[in-house]
Amino acid sequence: MPFKKEIRLEDIPGIGDKTLEKLKSIGYADPMVIAVSSPTELANIAEIGEATAAKIINAIREKLDIGYETADKILERRTTVSKITTGSKNLDNLLGGGIETQAITEAYGQYGSGKTQLAFQLSVTVQLPKDKGGLDGACLFIDTENTFRPERIVQIARSLKLEPEKVLRNIYIARAFNTEHQILLVEKAPDMIEEKKIKLIVVDSLTSHFRADFIGRGELASRQQKLNRHLHQLQRLADAFNLAVYITNQVMSDPSMLFGDPTRPVGGNILGHMATYRLYLRRGKEGTRICKIIDAPDLVEGEAVFRITENGISDN
């Protein structure tokens, strides 16, 4: 979403001297970041009323140049989109074939819901040949929680009749120690993507360091800003190298929710805007897992039931 011309916050109705100063002092002065914030987020950060926040966001959005492109160009690019199988037919059907390249797929859900297991599965299936649902490529796996388990990779590889040693050698693990390190790992990724034929980037989990490193309310602004930049970088890699990005995310409980499921993904609106596909994973009956599509531009909303077995993700 490029800007038609440089947008100056000074010119936005609703941003007075005081608000401008506040936004600048906390480093929340990038119009793009404000444009994708929610009124509640901005109101909290800038300590202004929600109505004013909404007015400011709308004014900036109106100045955005969506950047016209003829539809045939987009169709042309879309024809190169490929999918990686999840190992479950139910889940693949729900996703229209699997996890897409040129897109960010986010899985969020409670502990044990299967986010990491799906990451393991994809890091193996991406290596399958194209006629078996893979991309004949390698995986870059950014592990922020130290939960990568090569033993699981071996089990999944065996069940797919792949050579475990070869599969392990095609998964490049990077342990990210904090937010800055995580960002740096993604910034440095282009160097190796082509050389190693990376077709899948996993960030498991995307948000845990951000949550731990930016704790106070005063740090929310810089956290959201950094998260936004990080996601833009991932999307650029997905587009530039026609690869898939799979990220996981925790949930936190929302005390203001009186009805329904009181959990929501960490990261707020910015993640919602940046992830192309949002999947909500939860435990179902008798050890099953349920995947619900929350946000997808071209998929029917629905659910799929799958299982986590010794052999990885499957239908039963």
What are the residues binding ligand GTP (CB under 6 A)? 109, 111-117, 147, 250, 308-310
Structure tokens belonging to residue 185: 């790992």
Binding partner of 310, given ligand GTP, Mg ion, none, CB within 5-8 angstroms per partner class: ligand GTP
Binding partner of 276, given Mg ion, ligand GTP, none, CB within 5-8 angstroms per partner class: none
Least Å distance, CB 110 to Mg ion, is 10
For ligand GTP, which is the closer residue by CB, 57 or 313? Answer: 313
- The site string for Mg ion over 108-137 (x = CB under 5 A, - otherwise) reads --------x---------------------
Structure tokens belonging to residue 61: 């959005």
Q: How far apart are CA 35 and CA 10, in angstroms?
A: 15
For ligand GTP, which is the closer residue by CB, 36 or 160? Answer: 160
Contact 82, 101 (CB under 8 A): yes
List the alpha helices (DSSP H) in the chain.
Answer: 17-25, 31-35, 39-46, 50-63, 71-78, 89-94, 115-125, 150-159, 164-169, 179-188, 190-196, 208-213, 220-240, 268-274
For ligand GTP, which is the closer residue by CB, 60 or 156? Answer: 156
Residue with tokens 């393991």: 120
Q: How far apart are CA 183 and CA 241, in angstroms?
A: 18
SS3 content of the chain, % helix, strand, coil (to 5): 45, 20, 35
Contact 280, 271 (CB under 8 A): no
For Mg ion, which is the closer residue by CB, 207 or 228? Answer: 207
For ligand GTP, which is the closer residue by CB, 26 or 266? Answer: 266
- The site string for Mg ion over 211-250 (x = CB under 5 A, - otherwise) reads ----------------------------------------
Least Å distance, CB 4 to Mg ion, is 42
Which residues would be at the binding site for Mg ion (CB under 5 A)? 116
